[in-house]
Amino acid sequence: MSELKQALLAIFRGSGREHVFETFRQVVARDPEAAKAFGDPQTMDQVSLGYFNMIVEYLEGEKREVRDYWIDTFSPALVEQGQTLVDISREGVMFSVILAVSIVSELPPELRIEGTAWAAGFHSGVQADMTRAVLGKLGGERVEER
C-alpha cells in the first residue's frame, strides 16, 4: 500500500476524521443553501459517514459496494426532495471541495500534491456517478436549475 493511501486511511480511522467532520459542519453552517440541502445535523453526519466509508472502502481495495449503495440510496432521495441535477451537482462539488481541502490539510506536507490529485480524481468520479444516477432517475426532467 502506498504511503499516500496509508496516510489517508490513518486520517479516516483516527483523529483526522473528526477534524474533517467538524470542518464540513462549520462550512455548511455558514452557507444557507448548503444547510438547506444537507438538512439537520444528524442527516448531514449520516451523509458524511457514508461518504467516509466509501473513501475507506476505495482506499482498501478499490471496491464499489459502499459507493454503489451510497449513490443508489442518496441520489433518489435528493430527487424525491425536488432537487434538480444542477442543485445536486452544486452540492456535490461543495461537499467534495470541503472534504478535499480538509483531507489534504491533514496530510504531511510532502504528500499534499499527490493527495490533492488523488482527491480530485476520487471526488470527480463520485460526482460523475451521482450525475448518471440522477439523470437516470429524472429521465431528462428537472435537469435545469429551479
Domain containing 89 equals: 3-138
Query: How confident is the model over 56-66, as pLDDT tens digits?
Result: 898 998 688 98
The answer to the question of residue 143 being in a domain is no
- Mean of per-residue pLDDT scores for the chain: 83
Give pLDDT, residue 79.
83
* Percentage above 90 pLDDT, the chain: 22
The answer to the question of residue 37 being in a domain is yes
The answer to the question of residue 144 being in a domain is no
Q: What is the CATH number of the domain that holds 81?
A: 1.10.490
Q: H/E/C letters for each residue in 45-106?
A: HHHHHHHHHHHHHHHHHCCCHHHHHHHHHHHHHHHHCCCCHHHHHHHHHHHHHHHHHHHHHH
Tally the domains of the chain.
1
pLDDT at 144 over 60: no
The answer to the question of residue 145 being in a domain is no
The answer to the question of residue 146 being in a domain is no
Distance CA 49, CA 30 (A): 20
